[in-house]
Structure 1
Amino acid sequence: MTLLFSIAALLPLSLSQVTADTLLMDAVSARDSIGVPRPERGQSMETVRRMFGEPDSIRPAVGDPPITRWIYQPFTVYFEHQLVITSVVNR
């Protein structure tokens, strides 16, 4: 019985609140992205800017780690800190 009380007393100490940001992206089939040159994972913001020019729109960083979105006409680039994590073809 004391074991049960000990576990019950320690349980709230072992529970910690976990939070996360959710980033929703529409899926695009591979067929739709053929022939659309876009940034690759690991490229820096400077490299993307040099290769593709200034984006049409820049969405501010959100969350931790900070995720920034650069929107170009044919695609959107997602950065974590200063590096590309993915780029997707816009519909």
Structure 2
Amino acid sequence: MKTIIKPVLLCSLLAGIAAPIATVTAETVAMPSASNSDVRKVSMPERGMSKQQVEAMFGEPDSRHGPTGKPAIYYWEYADFTVYFEANYVIHAVSKHK
């Protein structure tokens, strides 16, 4: 048994040493940071608000869309953001890029 283990162990070690060494490269990508003047602070509806609360707080939307799918998804567009509703409640609000 010992005579079989030694050659197998020796071959394994030699194979590991003789194997080509992998070269890893990476690239650094510099992203410009947003200055305070680039960041717009937009007041938007919060998750869970009702359609009535959104309309009372932000006024009449520019447009209303839906329902689409099941559960019913609606969205209202305002000048600075879009609000998504599931049935009667806000599920998400997204600021528009300007």
State the percentage of identical aligned residues.
48
Q: Which has the larger radius of gyration?
A: 2
Please give the TM-score of this superposition, normalised by the length of structure 2: 0.58
Flag the 1:33–1:84 CA change in 2: closer, same or farther, 3 A: farther
1:75 to 63, 67, 81: 81
Task: Normalising by structure 1, report the TM-score.
Answer: 0.63
Separation in structure 2 between the aligned mates of residue 55 and residue 40 of structure 1, nearest angstrom: 16
The correspondence for 2:64, drawn from 47, 58, 61, is: 58
- Runs (4+) off by over 2 Å: 31-34
Structure 1 counterpart of 2:16: none
Residues 33/58 of structure 1: CA separation in 2 closer, same or farther (3 Å cut) = farther
Q: Distance in 2 between matches of 1:75 and 1:67?
A: 17
- In 1, Cα distance between equivalents of 2:72 and 2:39: 26
Letter in 2 for 1:80: E
CA offset at residue 90 of structure 1? 1.0
Which 5+ residue runs of structure 1 have no aligned equivalent? 1-30
What is the one-letter code of the residue matched to 2:61?
P
Query: 1:20-35 residue pairs with structure 2 within 5 A?
Result: 35=41
Unmatched tracts of structure 2, length 5 or more: 1-35
The number of aligned residues is 61
State the secondary structure of the residue aligned to 1:77. Answer: strand
Task: Answer 1 or 2: higher relative contact order, Cα 8 Å, separation at least 6.
Answer: 1
